[in-house]
Amino acid sequence: MATSIRVSNIVRIVFLVALASLLYNIYSSPKTNDLVRKGRNLRRPNFLRKPSQDSDMSSQYLKNIASRRTIYALSKRSPVSNARIQEILAETIKHSPSSFNNQAGRAVLLFGDDHDKLWDIAEEVVKTKLPQQAYDGLKPKLDGYKNGYGTIMFFEDGETMKPYKAAHPEMPFDQWSEHSQGMLQIHTWDALELEGLGANLQHYNFLPGFQDKVREQWNLSESWDLKAQLVFGKPAGQPKEKNFDQVEGKRLLVFGN
Protein backbone atom coordinates (compact mmCIF):
# COMPACT_ATOMS: atom_id res chain seq x y z
CA MET A 1 0.00 0.00 0.00
CA ALA A 2 2.80 2.44 0.97
CA THR A 3 4.64 1.58 -2.25
CA SER A 4 1.52 2.37 -4.25
CA ILE A 5 1.22 5.81 -2.62
CA ARG A 6 4.88 6.62 -3.33
CA VAL A 7 4.49 5.67 -7.00
CA SER A 8 1.38 7.85 -7.23
CA ASN A 9 3.26 10.83 -5.80
CA ILE A 10 6.14 10.32 -8.22
CA VAL A 11 3.73 10.19 -11.15
CA ARG A 12 2.06 13.39 -9.95
CA ILE A 13 5.43 15.19 -9.65
CA VAL A 14 6.53 14.06 -13.11
CA PHE A 15 3.23 15.24 -14.54
CA LEU A 16 3.57 18.71 -12.92
CA VAL A 17 7.16 19.09 -14.16
CA ALA A 18 6.09 18.15 -17.69
CA LEU A 19 3.19 20.60 -17.53
CA ALA A 20 5.46 23.42 -16.33
CA SER A 21 7.91 22.67 -19.14
CA LEU A 22 5.11 22.73 -21.69
CA LEU A 23 3.78 26.08 -20.45
CA TYR A 24 7.26 27.56 -20.48
CA ASN A 25 7.77 26.52 -24.10
CA ILE A 26 4.42 27.99 -25.09
CA TYR A 27 4.97 31.36 -23.42
CA SER A 28 8.58 31.72 -24.56
CA SER A 29 7.88 30.68 -28.14
CA PRO A 30 8.04 33.29 -30.96
CA LYS A 31 4.66 31.93 -32.06
CA THR A 32 3.04 33.38 -28.95
CA ASN A 33 2.42 36.69 -30.74
CA ASP A 34 0.61 34.79 -33.51
CA LEU A 35 -1.64 33.19 -30.93
CA VAL A 36 -2.39 36.57 -29.40
CA ARG A 37 -3.34 37.94 -32.79
CA LYS A 38 -5.74 35.02 -33.20
CA GLY A 39 -7.53 36.06 -30.02
CA ARG A 40 -5.98 33.66 -27.52
CA ASN A 41 -5.09 35.46 -24.31
CA LEU A 42 -1.52 34.21 -23.86
CA ARG A 43 1.00 36.46 -22.09
CA ARG A 44 4.54 35.89 -21.02
CA PRO A 45 5.18 35.98 -17.31
CA ASN A 46 6.67 39.29 -16.15
CA PHE A 47 10.07 37.80 -15.47
CA LEU A 48 10.41 36.86 -19.15
CA ARG A 49 9.62 40.32 -20.51
CA LYS A 50 12.48 42.40 -21.83
CA PRO A 51 12.40 46.19 -21.18
CA SER A 52 11.50 48.29 -24.19
CA GLN A 53 13.96 50.85 -25.55
CA ASP A 54 11.08 53.33 -25.80
CA SER A 55 11.04 55.01 -22.40
CA ASP A 56 7.71 56.36 -21.18
CA MET A 57 9.64 58.88 -19.09
CA SER A 58 11.56 60.38 -22.02
CA SER A 59 8.40 60.39 -24.15
CA GLN A 60 6.60 62.39 -21.49
CA TYR A 61 9.54 64.77 -21.24
CA LEU A 62 9.43 65.36 -24.99
CA LYS A 63 5.70 66.05 -24.78
CA ASN A 64 6.40 68.60 -22.06
CA ILE A 65 8.96 70.31 -24.29
CA ALA A 66 6.47 70.44 -27.15
CA SER A 67 3.73 71.89 -24.93
CA ARG A 68 5.85 74.84 -23.81
CA ARG A 69 4.92 77.78 -26.01
CA THR A 70 5.24 81.55 -25.91
CA ILE A 71 2.04 82.98 -24.42
CA TYR A 72 1.58 86.75 -24.67
CA ALA A 73 -2.02 86.96 -23.42
CA LEU A 74 -1.60 86.59 -19.65
CA SER A 75 -3.74 87.48 -16.65
CA LYS A 76 -2.91 88.56 -13.12
CA ARG A 77 -3.85 85.13 -11.84
CA SER A 78 -1.93 81.96 -11.05
CA PRO A 79 -3.11 78.35 -10.67
CA VAL A 80 -0.40 77.78 -8.04
CA SER A 81 0.79 79.66 -4.97
CA ASN A 82 3.65 82.14 -4.86
CA ALA A 83 5.46 79.73 -2.55
CA ARG A 84 5.25 76.99 -5.18
CA ILE A 85 6.63 79.29 -7.89
CA GLN A 86 9.49 80.25 -5.58
CA GLU A 87 10.16 76.57 -4.87
CA ILE A 88 10.31 75.76 -8.59
CA LEU A 89 12.73 78.61 -9.25
CA ALA A 90 14.96 77.58 -6.36
CA GLU A 91 15.16 74.03 -7.75
CA THR A 92 15.94 75.10 -11.32
CA ILE A 93 18.65 77.46 -10.08
CA LYS A 94 20.13 74.68 -7.98
CA HIS A 95 20.16 71.98 -10.63
CA SER A 96 20.82 73.84 -13.90
CA PRO A 97 24.42 73.13 -15.01
CA SER A 98 27.22 75.66 -15.34
CA SER A 99 30.81 75.49 -16.56
CA PHE A 100 33.17 74.20 -13.86
CA ASN A 101 30.09 74.24 -11.63
CA ASN A 102 30.65 77.97 -11.10
CA GLN A 103 26.96 78.47 -10.20
CA ALA A 104 26.93 82.09 -11.38
CA GLY A 105 23.23 82.06 -12.30
CA ARG A 106 21.03 84.45 -10.31
CA ALA A 107 17.34 85.31 -10.38
CA VAL A 108 14.98 87.89 -8.92
CA LEU A 109 11.31 86.89 -8.58
CA LEU A 110 8.78 89.73 -8.73
CA PHE A 111 5.12 89.61 -7.71
CA GLY A 112 2.42 92.26 -7.30
CA ASP A 113 3.55 95.89 -7.24
CA ASP A 114 7.17 94.91 -7.85
CA HIS A 115 6.19 93.13 -11.05
CA ASP A 116 4.26 96.21 -12.18
CA LYS A 117 7.17 98.47 -11.27
CA LEU A 118 9.54 96.57 -13.55
CA TRP A 119 7.37 97.21 -16.58
CA ASP A 120 6.82 100.84 -15.57
CA ILE A 121 10.61 101.19 -15.64
CA ALA A 122 10.75 99.50 -19.04
CA GLU A 123 8.10 101.84 -20.42
CA GLU A 124 9.91 104.88 -19.06
CA VAL A 125 13.19 103.82 -20.65
CA VAL A 126 11.56 102.95 -23.97
CA LYS A 127 9.83 106.33 -24.04
CA THR A 128 12.99 108.30 -23.29
CA LYS A 129 15.59 106.28 -25.19
CA LEU A 130 13.77 105.20 -28.35
CA PRO A 131 12.00 107.12 -31.13
CA GLN A 132 8.31 107.86 -30.69
CA GLN A 133 7.42 105.37 -33.42
CA ALA A 134 9.23 102.59 -31.54
CA TYR A 135 7.49 103.54 -28.31
CA ASP A 136 4.08 103.49 -29.99
CA GLY A 137 4.81 100.00 -31.32
CA LEU A 138 6.06 98.64 -28.00
CA LYS A 139 3.46 100.24 -25.70
CA PRO A 140 0.78 97.53 -26.22
CA LYS A 141 3.37 94.83 -25.57
CA LEU A 142 4.57 96.54 -22.40
CA ASP A 143 0.95 96.75 -21.20
CA GLY A 144 0.62 93.03 -21.90
CA TYR A 145 3.68 92.19 -19.80
CA LYS A 146 2.33 94.31 -16.96
CA ASN A 147 -0.97 92.41 -17.17
CA GLY A 148 0.91 89.23 -16.20
CA TYR A 149 1.06 87.77 -12.72
CA GLY A 150 4.80 88.04 -12.16
CA THR A 151 8.26 88.27 -13.70
CA ILE A 152 11.52 86.43 -13.17
CA MET A 153 14.66 88.42 -13.96
CA PHE A 154 17.66 86.25 -14.80
CA PHE A 155 21.25 87.39 -14.15
CA GLU A 156 24.81 86.12 -14.32
CA ASP A 157 27.15 87.16 -11.51
CA GLY A 158 30.42 88.33 -13.07
CA GLU A 159 32.14 88.42 -9.68
CA THR A 160 31.52 84.69 -9.23
CA MET A 161 33.14 83.94 -12.59
CA LYS A 162 36.26 86.07 -12.02
CA PRO A 163 38.38 83.34 -10.33
CA TYR A 164 37.59 80.88 -13.11
CA LYS A 165 38.53 83.37 -15.81
CA ALA A 166 41.76 84.20 -13.99
CA ALA A 167 42.70 80.54 -13.59
CA HIS A 168 41.81 79.61 -17.17
CA PRO A 169 42.10 82.75 -19.36
CA GLU A 170 42.15 80.61 -22.49
CA MET A 171 38.64 79.29 -21.89
CA PRO A 172 35.49 81.05 -23.20
CA PHE A 173 33.65 81.44 -19.90
CA ASP A 174 31.45 84.25 -21.21
CA GLN A 175 30.16 81.99 -23.99
CA TRP A 176 29.60 79.13 -21.56
CA SER A 177 27.82 81.54 -19.26
CA GLU A 178 25.28 82.19 -22.01
CA HIS A 179 24.77 78.46 -22.39
CA SER A 180 24.17 78.09 -18.64
CA GLN A 181 21.70 80.96 -18.72
CA GLY A 182 19.78 79.38 -21.57
CA MET A 183 19.46 76.12 -19.66
CA LEU A 184 18.33 77.87 -16.47
CA GLN A 185 15.73 79.88 -18.33
CA ILE A 186 14.26 76.97 -20.29
CA HIS A 187 14.20 74.68 -17.23
CA THR A 188 12.25 77.32 -15.33
CA TRP A 189 9.92 78.01 -18.24
CA ASP A 190 9.18 74.30 -18.74
CA ALA A 191 8.48 73.79 -15.04
CA LEU A 192 6.08 76.74 -14.87
CA GLU A 193 4.30 75.47 -17.97
CA LEU A 194 3.70 72.13 -16.25
CA GLU A 195 2.05 73.97 -13.35
CA GLY A 196 -0.45 75.58 -15.74
CA LEU A 197 1.30 78.94 -16.12
CA GLY A 198 1.90 80.60 -19.48
CA ALA A 199 5.00 82.70 -20.08
CA ASN A 200 6.98 84.74 -22.57
CA LEU A 201 10.69 85.57 -22.47
CA GLN A 202 11.81 89.17 -22.95
CA HIS A 203 15.19 90.95 -23.21
CA TYR A 204 14.64 94.60 -22.38
CA ASN A 205 18.13 94.69 -20.92
CA PHE A 206 19.21 95.81 -24.42
CA LEU A 207 17.84 99.26 -23.57
CA PRO A 208 20.44 101.80 -22.40
CA GLY A 209 20.00 102.49 -18.70
CA PHE A 210 17.40 99.77 -18.09
CA GLN A 211 19.74 97.49 -16.16
CA ASP A 212 21.02 100.38 -14.01
CA LYS A 213 17.48 101.33 -13.02
CA VAL A 214 16.68 97.69 -12.20
CA ARG A 215 19.75 97.37 -9.98
CA GLU A 216 18.90 100.61 -8.20
CA GLN A 217 15.24 99.72 -7.68
CA TRP A 218 15.95 96.36 -6.07
CA ASN A 219 19.38 97.16 -4.59
CA LEU A 220 21.23 94.56 -6.64
CA SER A 221 24.97 94.12 -6.99
CA GLU A 222 26.63 95.80 -9.96
CA SER A 223 28.26 92.45 -10.75
CA TRP A 224 24.84 91.01 -11.59
CA ASP A 225 24.44 91.18 -15.36
CA LEU A 226 20.79 91.15 -16.47
CA LYS A 227 20.12 88.60 -19.21
CA ALA A 228 16.36 88.12 -19.61
CA GLN A 229 12.92 88.64 -18.12
CA LEU A 230 10.39 85.77 -18.02
CA VAL A 231 6.84 87.14 -17.70
CA PHE A 232 4.29 84.61 -16.45
CA GLY A 233 0.65 84.27 -15.48
CA LYS A 234 -2.45 82.23 -16.12
CA PRO A 235 -2.98 82.11 -19.90
CA ALA A 236 -5.72 84.41 -21.18
CA GLY A 237 -5.33 83.30 -24.78
CA GLN A 238 -3.81 80.70 -27.07
CA PRO A 239 -0.30 80.68 -28.54
CA LYS A 240 0.17 81.60 -32.17
CA GLU A 241 0.38 78.86 -34.77
CA LYS A 242 3.93 77.58 -35.12
CA ASN A 243 5.47 76.18 -38.28
CA PHE A 244 8.45 73.85 -38.23
CA ASP A 245 11.22 73.60 -40.79
CA GLN A 246 12.43 70.17 -41.89
CA VAL A 247 14.53 68.52 -39.18
CA GLU A 248 16.04 65.30 -40.58
CA GLY A 249 18.53 65.97 -43.34
CA LYS A 250 18.53 69.74 -42.82
CA ARG A 251 18.64 70.66 -39.15
CA LEU A 252 19.74 67.22 -37.98
CA LEU A 253 22.58 65.24 -39.58
CA VAL A 254 23.48 61.73 -38.40
CA PHE A 255 26.73 59.88 -39.12
CA GLY A 256 28.00 56.45 -38.17
CA ASN A 257 24.79 54.39 -38.36
Domains of the chain by residue range: 2-48, 67-235
Question: How many C-alpha atoms does 26 have within 13 Å on its Cβ side?
Answer: 13
Q: Are 18 and 12 in contact (CB under 8 A)?
A: no
Grouped pLDDT means (10 residues each) for the chain, 257 residues: 52 57 50 38 39 71 92 98 98 97 98 98 97 96 98 98 96 96 98 97 96 98 98 94 92 91
> Are 147 and 72 contacting, i.e. CB atoms less than 8 angstroms apart?
no
Instruction: Please give the backbone phi and psi of residue 242, each rounded to the nearest 5 degrees, phi first.
Output: -120, 130
pTM above 0.85, yes or no: no
The CATH number assigned to the domain with range 67-235 reads: 3.40.109.10
If one counts every other C-beta atom within 10 angstroms of the C-beta of residue 192, the result is: 25
- For 5-61, write each residue's pLDDT tens digit: 454 665 565 555 555 555 555 444 444 344 333 333 333 334 344 445 566 888 888
